[in-house]
Amino acid sequence: MLLHWDIFCRVIDNYGDIGVCWRLARQLAREQGQAVRLWVDDPASLRPLCPACDPALAAQFIEGVELRRWPTGFVVDRVADVVIEAFACELPAAYVAAMAVSPRPPCWINLEYLSAEAWVENCHGLASPHPSLPLVKYFFFPGFTPATGGLLREAGLPLAPPQEPAGMLEISLFCYDTAPVSGLLAALAASPRPILCHVPPGQPLAAVTAALGPADSWRLGQSRIQPLPFLPLDDYDALLRRCAINFVRGEDSFVRAQWAARPFIWQIYPQDDAAHQTKLDAFLDRYCAALPSSTAAVIRALFTAWNGGGDVAQAWPDFLARIPEITRHNANWARQLAVQPDLASNLLRFVADRA
């Protein structure tokens, strides 16, 4: 069933919001044969993830997706069959008005942020009638169980084998500038095992430079800290599969680290009144459920420390000592998640059920 989709995205968190929306738009077009327009208020934010993007253009086609700049003075040319409001970004008022007078109102979906919290299952798919217009908006929650919208996963996505790293350990460091990077660097400096740490530009490299001073690269004991250029999405995914340990942040790289099936440490996006801590605990409860309590405690200690609740340098050696076990666990975790339908497929079924 060919449908026209409009996905609206406001760039809030650097590359996370646009990364999720671009992956979804690309998958709907590539795998499902859908006609997709992606409206983004800051097209320049997509350029590092997709070098084919020209931020100067108001409209362009890339990998089967029509990319449109979301201007301040939005003019409606047509209303799509499916309208996705990514992360409650609030549609243009003119577009909502046009939806209300369409002969066949579109399926209007608010794509929510990913969460492992139990309440998500009860709220996924709920309808919210507009207070004054003949429109209904549905809440679509990504998640880790079949009762949610699932996770973004392309068909044929390779899962890295549970290979235990030998020799030099490669890690990737993608974090916010609030991460306790100095504690990690101290841990790497004390490591008895050679480590190569890849640091992308932006906040991660700025945090490392603030701790160590400007340089092309740094040597800390047996560890080498190496900047790398910003990688397009597919190349970044390959880096995650190659590295033995990945530090990730937000939502997009968090999900990709799980498909890479390698040990990872997640820095969750900080929220007011520490609401993010509840989300972090909910994920760790699910993720660690099948692990021995001692291993779960080691993982929790490093995750907690990396999110500002402990000493990273103290938690790191215990995590490093259990890398073989955690690697095997992550391979099993990825396989279990991959059995469930992916988010794009779930979206199509959701829309078809309401046609």
Cα Rg of the chain, angstroms: 21
Active-site pick, 13, 85, 170, 251: 251
Beta pairing class for 59-62 and 65-69: antiparallel
Burial class (CB in 10 A: 0-12, 13-18, 19+), 108: buried
CA atoms of 355 and 349, how far apart (whole Å)? 10
| Residue type at 30 in one-letter notation | R
Active-site pick, 6, 17, 85, 112: 17
Question: Which run of H or E residues covers position 38?
Answer: strand 35-40
DSSP state letters, 79-134: --SEEEEETT----HHHHHHHHTSSS--EEEEEPPP---THHHHHTT-EEE-SSSS
User: Catalytic: 285?
Assistant: no
Q: 84 to each of 39, 88, 282, 344, how far by Cα in Å? A: 10, 9, 26, 12
User: Catalytic: 13?
Assistant: no
Token pair listed for 175: 């974090």
**Nearest-CA neighbor of 246 among 298, 296, 302?**
302
Residue 327, classed as helix, strand or coil, is: helix
Q: Which residues are catalytic?
A: 17, 251
